[in-house]
Structure 1
Amino acid sequence: MAYHMNKERLLIPMLLFLILFFLNSVARAENSLLQGAANSGSNKTSLAKADLRHHKLEVAKRLPVTERRDNKDESKEAFSITGLVQNPIWITKKNLSQLRHATVSKPIKGKTDKSVQYTGVPVLTLLEIVKIQKNKNDKLAEENKKQGNYENAEKMANTKVNSDIVVSVKSKDGRQIVFLLDYLLQSPENEIMLVDDKNRELPELVIKNGNSNIFPLKDIISVDIMQFSVKYDELEDNKLHYIIYGGGNAGIYLPDILEKCKTVDTPLKTLHTGTSKNKHKKYSLYEILSKMPEKVEYTDIFTVISDNGDLASFSFTELEPPNPPVVIIQNKNNTQYSYDLVAADNNGRVRWIKNVRQIKRINLKQKPMIYVIGMGCGDISLLTNEAISYMGRADVFVCMEKYKRSFAGYMSGKPVLFDPFFQLATFYRKHHPKISEEEAERKSKEIYENNMQMIRDALKSGKTVALLEPGDPTIYGGWRNWLSPNFPSDKIKIIPGISSLSAANAALGEYDITETSIVVTEPETLKHNESLIKSAAETESTIVIFMGISRMDVLVPIFKKYYAKNTPVHLVFYAGITGNEMIIKTDLEKVIEDTRANKENFLGLIYIGSKLR
């Protein structure tokens, strides 16, 4: 009897422990959603923290793809989720089908009694997987808390950051829509989903309250998470109450637009509850923006700013009916006007902005650009997150044939315009050995001109072109010789990569070559500037030579003028490429012979200096 009583007494605390453990796990799962990102737009008007508490999200099971796709020929179409995320991923049709799905019923426009059923994966589920990065203030607050500086941690956490996290979705045909992360968090889970299409490889975006003329958005190729900041412009008193767009101070006076708009009835209470009804009027922000001379786009974000810097941002998508109304209230005091904003979310909660001074328009439409992306040493493990993100944003690629295979997983079946090496006469003749040098020059020039026209046509059609450049594009990048002369600098954005110099330095980590200077150069510079070699020899600096393996016969006689024959020379081949990296340690006397014994005459760096002993 005593045994059974003791057993029962033990079972009760065990059951209580299991229940508490389960509840704690659920709470952790809910609050792990986009940790830190909700505070990115934190201010008096932000509801992100509250939404995290109210939002019930089942933790998505891990996608059956790695954070970085391997270098197999994965040429199947896939869409990317990149940008301000910790785990950028590419998702195929098969991957998407294996995630938890939800269903949404979307009314058919003009037919209130009919609707269409969509089944897909909530965007929030996908964002839980990639984990949106924390903003700078959140990171500083966390670091201070770990160090015990609780006062500083609280100060950082409460610092107003006039920025918001935006989710940008782009389709294969170039159409794009943006919406705020706050809007996602405030909406029911199945309001915004990516839906499997049995007839297509790529999914479609369905927004329950979206305009049926635009949605669903088919063939999604990228979901890009980005952050934008809003600057409050100090304007003269007679220039207040402007809608500003297109940069600068060009804008529209708000009262002029209100004259064209109808007042609206709304159950929302006004801020000035003590005033009489005839002293204030209510207007729909959606209608106000629709009356602007310049057409509003689904890539527009509108930020309403008060005179004390409080702000609230809205995408045009969330302003559309039948979403909860966002209202501008015009208050009149004698001959003076003031403006307030009142907005309700899907949960019935209201936010207020008192004394509105500016409504700023920020267009986040992806502009036609050329991204010169540093691909590192060619090893997929040394590819940066930034490079991965910009590959996700690209519509078409320019790259060498090798990259089409090794990075196929990140290119996801998108078109490749051309291989830039084939516009070089020497490379062209290597593949067509029977033609003369003159013919090779003529053919390569034709190819080059045709290639430049392909890029121009892509940009003209609104596409983004990604040139996949070996190493770091800023260190002896060959693209400057053929791409830069044809396109203005404001059309080119450089994405740095891990240079073979960094990888080679790591491979030679046993030597302290940074004790003195490191001179990074190339053969032609050395050939016409022997004083550089002399100075390096006298100061025991280490010289690192790019593109010099094939020029060894020319370089060695020059070096022998200033260095002893037994000066160490190290050749690093395939730096950073796992399984292929190779170091040949020799000296100035034997380096030509050792170089000839090795078949590779391109992918190698030359190190020379006494610090290599």
Structure 2
Amino acid sequence: MVRRSVFALFMVVVCAWVLRASPLAALTIGGVVRQPLNLSTEDLARFESATVRLNELTRDNRFRGVFAYRGVPLRTLLEFASVQKEESSFGKPLDLAVVVRNKEGKRTVLSWGEIFHRNPSEIVVATSAGPIVPHHTNCGECHDAKIYEPALNQLKRKVGLPKLVVANDFFTDRSLEDIVHIDVMEMKQKTEKRQMGKLFSPKFTVLDGKGRSVEVSDLSGYTRIEADKKNISDGRGYHGWRRYSGVSLRELLTKTAMGQDADTVVLASSIDGYRVLISYGELFLSPGGERIMIADGIRGRPLEEGKFALILPDDTSDDRTAKALSRIEIVSLKGKPKFYIIGMGCADTSLITLEAISYMGKADVFIAPDDIRMRFAKYMGGKPVLFDPLRMHIARMTKKGNQGLSEAELKEKMDRENEQDIQKIKDALDAGKSVALLEYGDPVVYAAWQHRFQRSFKDQIEIVPGLSAFNAANAMIGGNLACKAGSLVLTVPRALAANEDMVKAVSAGGDTMAVFIGLRELKTLVALLQRYYPETTPVQIAYKAGYSNGRHIVKTTLGGVIAAAEKENERHLGMIYIGPCLQ
């Protein structure tokens, strides 16, 4: 017996950490946090880890093996990101939801309370895993092979890492593999915080979020339960223990036919605006879910404050107790898929914003040029790319694959490919997937997507700003570019050619003019400017703005700018500035 136990322990140790997350795996954390994070596997390994065992069985009776996982408590990562609510009438984080997504777009919804008011090791982000192999594998002596072989084969499967492990759930549907993004969400439902004396509400209303409501003024007709709870809050400390009586919230929601959707949360509010959020999983998948109660009694007597209270007996803190309960709302977090247009910055990867990283985590699929896809791969989490939006432009410029086509035939081909691209986006959105187009610089300044996609998806588009070459070039030039009349004009050569009156007015007012994509048309541009500006007018060209290894400024005059530009190798990446403020 001793030898068998030693062998079993040996098998667990040998097999325990054979699977590790890929070094390229990345996990982003965003939402209502002060410090959005992008964490590699190596980053996660630097945190203090916990080890948990998970017997994996889903609600549809699928056994997925028994594994030992090692990883970082999710609470630790959220503390590192420093969760901070926006301006809100209810400042506590008790009504926050935490949504975890994997690279396939699947989601797990958690409540703030089950992460921060339970033991940290119950919910971890695992970076390594190993099967726990039973020491007795010759099950043929007592079972048919078709019974035991599928279970043993699960121990050989590849586990997608990093993995969210919710160790305390009986059914493990919320344990999610290949996670790529964690989003801390604030509820949009408004609440009015009221200062009150003694709290009391004679009833509470249950709303399903679809217009249906049920009013509850007594708990007759439900199975009575009791639970002991230690009254310890993070603010007031220990205040004894109490025995509450009432009914299970799980039973109440089931009997009122409020549904069981994994993407929903329960938002409970007191009469004074105090709010508490409970996830579907902790209510219906965790063994402790049946103990979450609507209490109407304490130690055999009616409650002293309010007729009803929400009680979570297994929380390590009393902060999620909602006295004088007045409202229970079922809130769906599904939302509609979005088409994000994300500004990635104009050059170096260091110029990407934290908001852009956060929104990349929300996307299920990407549209990205090959250059952006390679440089920002660590933020994309291995999620699929629908197409390269620049491929048609590059093919047109290089004639690659278009030899022998007339201009009309080439336009017809590009229009056809554009329609195919639009259909790919529509198919993804129709499948419930959010799409992110990764755009250079500021996505609303002279961006090609506006001509290609805005009309088809205008109601689904959400724009995430980025740092433009204009911003980077301004920093290179320095000084006050609006020193005269206080204006700074941003334009392109074709706009100037179509509106010479504007050129004349800008010149007369002494404003600074910044010209995008003007190097290729420099001679034509200079000829136009010379009609309204003296030859001695200062001109500066900011080459490769934002590129730390190639950026530089050429200072010259309108009369000498063509000769100065011809000495440079760069023929495309340059912002052209003209005006007296450049002195």
Q: TM-score, normalised by structure 1?
A: 0.73
Deviations 1:182-217 (A, max 9, x none): 321221122112333462452332212324151432
Q: Which residue of 2 aligns with 1:300?
A: 264
Q: 1:428 to 1:456 in 2, by over 3 A?
A: farther
Q: Are 2:71 and 2:124, in contact at CA under 8 Å, matched by a contact in 1?
A: yes
Code of the aligned partner of 1:244: L
Which SS does the other structure have where 1:209 is aligned? coil
Q: 1:264 to 1:270 in 2, by over 3 A?
A: farther
Q: What displacement does 1:597 show?
A: 4.3
Q: What displacement does 1:162 show?
A: 7.5
Code of the aligned partner of 1:326: I
Which SS does the other structure have where 1:167 is aligned? strand
Q: Distance in 1 between matches of 2:257 and 2:91?
A: 33
Q: Distance in 2 between matches of 1:405 and 1:455?
A: 21
Gaps of 5+ in 1: 1-64, 66-73, 139-157, 272-279
Q: Which residue of 2 aligns with 1:127?
A: 77
Deviations 1:431-465 (A, max 9, x none): 34623233322322222111111111211222221
Q: 1:290 to 1:573 in 2, by over 3 A?
A: farther
Q: 1:190 to 1:545 in 2, by over 3 A?
A: same
Q: Which residue of 2 aligns with 1:185?
A: 116
Correspondence 1:328 to 2:294: yes
1:90 aligns with one of 39, 50, 65: 39
Which SS does the other structure have where 2:209 is aligned? coil
1:52-91 equivalence runs, <5 A: 76-83=24-31, 84-86=33-35, 88-91=37-40
Correspondence 1:287 to 2:246: no
Q: What displacement does 1:126 show?
A: 4.6
Q: What displacement does 1:480 show?
A: 0.9
Q: What displacement does 1:403 show?
A: 0.8
1:201-220 equivalence runs, <5 A: 201-212=160-171, 214-220=173-179
Q: Are 1:197 and 1:203, in contact at CA under 8 Å, matched by a contact in 2?
A: no
Q: Distance in 1 between matches of 2:449 and 2:461?
A: 11
Q: What displacement does 1:563 show?
A: 0.9
1:430-441 equivalence runs, <5 A: 430-432=399-401, 434-436=403-405, 437-441=407-411
1:381-400 equivalence runs, <5 A: 381-400=350-369
Which SS does the other structure have where 2:385 is aligned? coil
Correspondence 1:473 to 2:404: no
Question: What percentage of residue pairs aligned between the two structures are identical?
Answer: 31
1:17-28 equivalence runs, <5 A: none
Select the structure that is richer in helix. 1
Correspondence 1:452 to 2:422: yes
Deviations 1:227-260 (A, max 9, x none): 33541379xxx9973333437xx2311339978x
Code of the aligned partner of 2:164: L
Correspondence 1:369 to 2:329: no
Q: 1:592 to 1:293 in 2, by over 3 A?
A: farther
Large movers: runs of 4+ above 4 Å:
94-100, 105-111, 135-138, 158-163, 256-259, 268-271, 291-294, 330-333, 348-351
Q: What displacement does 1:374 show?
A: 0.6
Q: Distance in 1 between matches of 2:528 and 2:387?
A: 39
Q: Distance in 1 between matches of 2:254 and 2:573?
A: 57
Code of the aligned partner of 1:89: N
Deviations 1:497-531 (A, max 9, x none): 11111111110014544453101122232222222
Q: Are 1:241 and 1:357, in contact at CA under 8 Å, matched by a contact in 2?
A: yes
Q: Are 2:85 and 2:186, in contact at CA under 8 Å, matched by a contact in 1?
A: no
Code of the aligned partner of 2:113: D
Code of the aligned partner of 1:282: G
1:562-573 equivalence runs, <5 A: 562-573=532-543
Q: Are 1:572 and 1:604, in contact at CA under 8 Å, matched by a contact in 2?
A: yes
Q: Are 1:425 and 1:440, in contact at CA under 8 Å, matched by a contact in 2?
A: no
Q: 1:197 to 1:466 in 2, by over 3 A?
A: farther
Q: Which residue of 2 aligns with 1:242?
A: 205
Q: What displacement does 1:473 show?
A: 1.1
Q: 1:222 to 1:597 in 2, by over 3 A?
A: same
Which SS does the other structure have where 2:213 is aligned? strand
Q: Which residue of 1 aligns with 2:149?
A: none
Q: What displacement does 1:385 show?
A: 0.6
Q: Are 2:345 and 2:352, in contact at CA under 8 Å, matched by a contact in 1?
A: yes
Gaps of 5+ in 2: 1-20, 131-157, 194-200, 232-243
Q: Are 2:103 and 2:383, in contact at CA under 8 Å, matched by a contact in 1?
A: no
Q: TM-score, normalised by structure 2?
A: 0.76
Correspondence 1:267 to 2:227: yes
Q: 1:169 to 1:425 in 2, by over 3 A?
A: closer
Q: Distance in 2 between matches of 1:414 and 1:480?
A: 24
Q: Which residue of 1 aligns with 2:478?
A: 509
Q: 1:161 to 1:346 in 2, by over 3 A?
A: closer
Q: Which residue of 1 aligns with 2:461?
A: 492
Q: 1:254 to 1:108 in 2, by over 3 A?
A: farther
Q: Which residue of 2 aligns with 1:317?
A: 281
